[in-house]
Structure 1
Amino acid sequence: MKGVYMKDDEIIDLYFNRNERAIKETDIKYGRYCEKIAGNILGNNLDVEECLDDTYLKVWNRIPPTRPSILRAFIGKIIRETSINRYKASRTYKRGGGVVDELLDELEECIPDNSNVELSILGQELAGIIRDFVRELNKKEAYIFTARYFYAEEISHIAEKYGMSRHNATVVLGRLRKKLRERLIKEGYLVS
C-alpha cells in the first residue's frame, strides 16, 4: 500500500525555507529509492546508511540555490555520485571485484578518457549525448541501459525482470554499448 507523500514542489519549498522537515519528507518519499541505488553500488548496509546521510546533507546544501525540475532525478544523481565516491574510497584500502568495476570495464570502450582541464565541459556535453541516446532507445532497451549503467543493477536482475536469460541481457547490453560507441564516434568524442 502506497503512503501519502508530499508533492515535490512542497518539499523543495521546505528546503528554500530552510525547514529541516524537508529532509524527513525527502527520506519518506525517496529513501527506499536512494537505498536501492546505493545498495546496488556498495552492497553494505552501513555504507548505504552513511551515503544516505551524506546525500541528504548535499541536497540540503544545494537547495537553494538550485531548484531542481525533477527532484527524484536530482536526488538520484547525488546518491549515485556519493555511493560511487564511497566505493572508490573503500577500494583504495582493499582490492577485489565489484559491480562498479564491472560497469567501468563494460563502458571503458565507449566513454572517452579525458584527464585535462576540459573534463567538466566535456562531461556535460557527454552527459547530454548519452541522455539523448537513451531517449532514442525503445522502452525495453532504455530500461536495460539505465538499470545497468545508472542504477548499477546486476545483469541477472535485469534479465529476470524482462524474462530473458542472463546471456541475452548481456548481448543486449553489448549491442547498446556498440550503438553508444558509434554515436560517440559520430559526435567526435571517440576515434574509431
Structure 2
Amino acid sequence: MKDEEIIELYFKRNERAIEETDIKYGHYCETIAGNILWNNQDIEECLDDTYMKMWNRIPPTRPRILRAFIGKIVREIALNMYKASKTSKRGGGVVSQLLDELEECLPDNTTVEHVILENELAEIIRDFVRELNERDAYIFTSRYFYAQDISDIAIKFGMTKHNVTVILSRLRKKLQLRLAKEGYLAS
C-alpha cells in the first residue's frame, strides 16, 4: 500500500492504518528500536507506543515522508525508554557509547539559552548531514540516528570497521568545527 493511502486511513480513523503501517514499516521500526534497546519486550512495547503515537499525531499532522516521520517517532520513544531504564545491561551500553562519541561535538546543554536554541542546533546538524556526500551522510545517520553497529555499516560499504571508525571520527571533527563556527562551541 502506498504511503498516501496509509495516511488517508489515519485521517479516516480506520484502524487498518496501524496494520498497514506495521506491514510496510514494522521491520524498519523494529530495527531502529532494536539498535537502541536490545530487549525484545522493550522493542515490542516501543513499537506499540510508536503506533499509538502515530494514531494520535495523524491527524492533524500530514507527514510528507511517512518513513522519516515514523522513524523519528520510534527513535524518540526508544531513546526515552533507554534513558528511563538507566542501565547499561540493555544494549551493552551502545547508546551510552554513541552519546560519548558525540559528546565532544555537542555544546553543554545545562543553560536556558541552549534549550531556547535547540531547534537551531538541530537545523545546523541537519544541514551538516545534507552537505555530506551520500556515503558519509549514510554512515553518520546510520550510526548516530539509527544507532547501527559499526560492523553493520562496514558491511554495507564493503569497508573495514577501522575505516568506518576513522570516517566517523573525521565527521565528528567536521561537525565540531561547524558548531564552533556557528557559535555553539568554543573553537
TM bin, normalised by shorter chain, reads over 0.9
Deviation digits for residues 61-119 of structure 1 (CA, Å, limit 9, x no counterpart): 1111111111110100000010011111111xx44541100110000011112234455
Aligned to 1:12: 7
SS in 2 for 1:152: coil
SS in 1 for 2:117: helix
Matched AA of 2:47? L
Aligned to 1:160: 155
SS in 2 for 1:98: helix
Aligned to 1:142: 137
Give the whole-Å Cα distance in 2 for the aligned partners of 1:116 and 1:177: 23
Q: Is the 8 A contact 2:33 2:75 kept in 1?
A: yes
Gaps of 5+ in 1: 1-5
Gaps of 5+ in 2: none
Q: How many residues align?
A: 185
Aligned to 2:184: 189
Matched AA of 2:184? Y
Deviation digits for residues 156-175 of structure 1 (CA, Å, limit 9, x no counterpart): 11112212211111110000
Aligned to 1:110: 105
Matched AA of 1:15? Y
Worse-superposed segment, 157-166 or 136-145: 157-166
Matched AA of 1:156? S
Give the whole-Å Cα distance in 1 for the aligned partners of 2:9 and 2:184: 41
Worse-superposed segment, 50-59 or 122-131: 122-131
Match of 1:55 among 50, 53, 62: 50
- What does residue range 21-170 of structure 1 map to in structure 2 within 5 Å? 21-91=16-86, 94-96=87-89, 97-170=92-165
Matched AA of 1:80? R
Q: Is the 8 A contact 2:36 2:94 kept in 1?
A: yes
More helix by share: 2
Between the aligned residues of both structures, percent identity stands at 74
Deviation digits for residues 115-158 of structure 1 (CA, Å, limit 9, x no counterpart): 34455542211111111111111111011001100110011111
